[in-house]
Structure 1
Amino acid sequence: MGGPVGSGRDFLGPFFDTDGTDIAFREAAAQRLYREFLDTLGVGVLAGLPVPLVCTFGLSAHTVATRQNWDVHRDRQGAVPDGFLRSRLFADLVRASVRGALAFYDHTAALGLRVLAPLPPQRVPGLSDPRVFFAAQDVVGAELASRNVEIVDLRARVTDGTGLQRPAFCQTDDTIHGNLAFGRLVVSELLDRGL
């Protein structure tokens, strides 16, 4: 789940309700796509999912890293200090920013589902702060790992020395998404993990 059911920013705050075994998306279009997904697999509720769930909820670090969100924390040189990016306050703010996604992963963990979360392309658009992007991504990754979500991390294969996505794996004229070559690597890695 993720891209097929909506934009990444749609799954940061509260976006679903649950009855314990299933969820209901608050957005009608996402709920329709979710039900079609379950129907295709022949199951009625999320708890009955017979295959691993691939999900990217909460991984939109570029949204969390929007520059103006962090202006109050900048030093006189205009940078968000390293100490703040490693602080408990920063981690708490990031967790609050993605609380809806974390609630979803709490639910999948309670159901005992196997969940794989591919990290997004390492692209930081101009409206986002790169240092906040990477620090927020680390916080979210640790939160997902604590919920037994398997992180699919292709960074060593697709980034340069700065940690940013190499052009060979970037969608042309798009500041966020990866291209087909990146997508193929993600699918290959998922297949290698038994999907």
Structure 2
Amino acid sequence: MTTPSSTTTTPADPAPAPTKPVATRPSRFLLLGDSHAGPIGRAAKAAGIPFTGGPIGAGRDFNAGFLEVRDGDLVFGKPEAQAYHRRFLDELGVASLAELEIPLVSTFGFNVHTFATTENWACYRLPDSSFPAGFLTSRLFDEIVRAMARDALAFYRHTRGLGLRVLAVLPPQRVPAMSDPQVFLAAQDTVAASLVPLGVELVDLRARVTDATGFQRPELCEGNDPIHGNLAFGRLILADLLDRGL
């Protein structure tokens, strides 16, 4: 989480570099995520909070088809992501996530602006471009979003099945021009609601970071970037994590 990497649709975006802890004290949590994990790691680093992990790729890479379970352990499909994952485990002195004794914090599954890409939903709109009444809260909508996020949900299901304490961080409340704000908000709710029965703790700062529009306050947005939160946003997330005992 040094410099956050964009999760826009530009295919050439490089994967974000992971942030390493700055202290030799025992790590207080393992951070695994996409570029939205960047501000969290930068905030922890600035505050001297020891942790391990960071972003292991761009958000669009962690929805579906990005992992499998081999011999009871998670394996990420992209070699670079798997290399980061293994390095983080090595730094913690464990062979697999099953041996993890600290909480796991993740942003996987919450790059919902990609789910909300406007053109994805054209076939469900009425002639006036609106959605049918109740569509965004319907079972059909939920099933579509869960299918889009199926491996992210599998990640949380697996890690909770290992008995880990898992915290999922909701994204900055920012919607790029390519995405539909209504779908963004509804898809976010669907993913969050899917994690609650698994026992995943939701780090949900929406009431604290939004203004009258319902979206992220400018002072918590990364400049010249349509998607990410900044260091101040990361500090709010870190404070919430610390309040939870991490």
**TM-score above 0.5, yes or no:** yes
Q: Identify unmatched segments of 5+ residues in structure 1.
A: none
Counterpart amino acid of 1:10?
Answer: D
Deviation at 1:163, TM superposition (A): 1.4
Q: Which residue of 2 aligns with 1:57?
A: 108
Aligned counterpart for 2:160 among listed residues 109, 123, 127 = 109
Q: Which residue of 2 aligns with 1:67?
A: 118
Counterpart amino acid of 1:79?
Answer: S
Q: Distance in 2 between matches of 1:141 and 1:94?
A: 11
Give yes or no for contact 1:21–1:111 (8 Å, CA) kept in 2.
no
Aligned counterpart for 1:31 among listed residues 77, 82, 86 = 82
Aligned counterpart for 2:184 among listed residues 133, 136, 144 = 133
Give yes or no for contact 1:14–1:101 (8 Å, CA) kept in 2.
no
Q: Which residue of 2 aligns with 1:2?
A: 33
Q: Which residue of 1 aligns with 2:138?
A: 87
Q: Distance in 1 between matches of 2:145 and 2:65?
A: 14
Give yes or no for contact 1:170–1:178 (8 Å, CA) kept in 2.
yes
Q: Which residue of 1 aligns with 2:238?
A: 187
Q: Which residue of 1 aligns with 2:26?
A: none
Q: Distance in 1 between matches of 2:61 and 2:96?
A: 22
Are the structure 2 counterparts of residues 148 and 39 from structure 1 closer, same or farther at C-alpha, using a change threshold of 3 Å? same
Q: Identify unmatched segments of 5+ residues in structure 2.
A: 1-31, 35-54
Deviation at 1:19, TM superposition (A): 2.7
Q: 1:165 and 2:219 equivalent?
A: no
Q: 1:174 and 2:225 equivalent?
A: yes
Counterpart amino acid of 2:213?
Answer: T
Deviation at 1:103, TM superposition (A): 1.0
The CA RMSD measured in Å over matched residues stands at 1.0
> How many pairs were matched up?
195
Q: Distance in 2 between matches of 1:90 and 1:21?
A: 32
Counterpart amino acid of 1:59?
Answer: F
Percent of aligned pairs with the same amino acid: 58
Deviation at 1:161, TM superposition (A): 1.9
Deviation at 1:2, TM superposition (A): 0.8
Aligned counterpart for 2:198 among listed residues 126, 147, 150 = 147
Deviation at 1:20, TM superposition (A): 5.0
Q: Distance in 2 between matches of 1:153 and 1:8?
A: 18
Determine helix, strand or coil for the equivalent of 2:245: coil
Give yes or no for contact 1:21–1:46 (8 Å, CA) kept in 2.
no
Give yes or no for contact 1:118–1:151 (8 Å, CA) kept in 2.
yes
Determine helix, strand or coil for the equivalent of 2:114: helix
Counterpart amino acid of 1:6?
Answer: G
Runs of 4+ more than 3 Å apart:
none
* 1:81-112 residue CA offsets vs partner (Å, 9 max, x unmatched): 34111111000000000001011111112111
Determine helix, strand or coil for the equivalent of 1:18: strand
Structure number with higher helix proportion: 1
Q: Distance in 1 between matches of 2:133 and 2:242?
A: 37
